[in-house]
């Protein structure tokens, strides 16, 4: 927060609904090595338990229940990740717009400074010319 004014990211974060924050969290989690490692461990344990199960194989090879779980996970993960990507695109657009506005303001300030410097330079030249004319008259 600069001068009590919120930046674009703070305004965007505050405007997000619970569902949007949840989707971003899920997409962030699913897009991590931690998730891949945990899911790999679960799959290996699932298959190992089904191979060595003494009493009953609740999901014998070719692991149809495991495939169903993966399909369900993918069916929910894809739209959640797409929602998060859409919001990222929206954030990028807002940031680009804010950057553009900042650049326009900076350009205006630079142009104003250039005009002031030109005025100071012209004033100096006028004074130098006046001093030279005064010296020539003597």
* pLDDT tens digits along 22-64: 888 888 888 899 999 999 999 999 888 888 876 777 888 888 9
Tokens of 129: 């010319």
pLDDT for position 11: 77
3-state secondary structure of 5: strand
pLDDT for position 4: 67
* pLDDT over 80 (residue 21): yes
pLDDT for position 1: 56
Tokens of 32: 């991590």
How many separate domains does the chain show? Answer: 1
- Examine residue 13 and state whether it is found in any structural domain, yes or no: yes
Tell me the average pLDDT across 11-15: 78
Q: List alpha helices for 2-63, DSSP H.
A: 8-15, 18-30, 33-52
Domain that holds residue 27: 8-111
- Examine residue 130 and state whether it is found in any structural domain, yes or no: no
Instruction: Indicate the range of 21-35, 50-64, 74-88, 119-133 predicted with least confidence.
Output: 50-64
Q: What percent of the chain has pLDDT over 70?
A: 95
* pLDDT over 70 (residue 9): yes
| C-alpha dist (Å) from residue 91 to 25, 28, 31, 122 | 16, 16, 19, 46
Angle between helices 33-52 and 64-137 (to 10 degrees): 170
- Examine residue 56 and state whether it is found in any structural domain, yes or no: yes
- Examine residue 124 and state whether it is found in any structural domain, yes or no: no
Contacts 24+ apart (CB under 8 A), 38-44: none
Beta-carbon contacts of residue 66 (< 8 Å; ≥ 6 apart): 43, 46, 47, 59
pLDDT for position 96: 92
- Examine residue 32 and state whether it is found in any structural domain, yes or no: yes
- Examine residue 61 and state whether it is found in any structural domain, yes or no: yes
- Examine residue 3 and state whether it is found in any structural domain, yes or no: no
- Examine residue 132 and state whether it is found in any structural domain, yes or no: no
């Amino acid at each position: 927060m600069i001068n009590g004014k919120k930046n674009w990211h703070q305004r965007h974060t505050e405007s997000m609904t619970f569902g949007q924050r949840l989707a971003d969290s899920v997409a962030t989690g699913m897009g991590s090595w931690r998730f891949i490692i945990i899911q790999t461990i679960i799959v290996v344990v699932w298959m190992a338990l089904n191979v060595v199960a003494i009493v009953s194989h609740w999901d014998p090879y070719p692991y149809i229940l495991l495939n169903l779980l993966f399909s369900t996970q993918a069916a929910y993960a894809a739209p959640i990740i797409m929602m998060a990507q859409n919001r990222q695109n929206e954030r990028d657009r807002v940031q680009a717009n804010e950057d553009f506005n900042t650049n326009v303001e900076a350009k205006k300030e630079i142009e104003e400074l250039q005009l002031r410097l030109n005025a100071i330079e012209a004033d100096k030249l006028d004074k130098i010319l006046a001093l030279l004319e005064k010296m020539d008259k003597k």
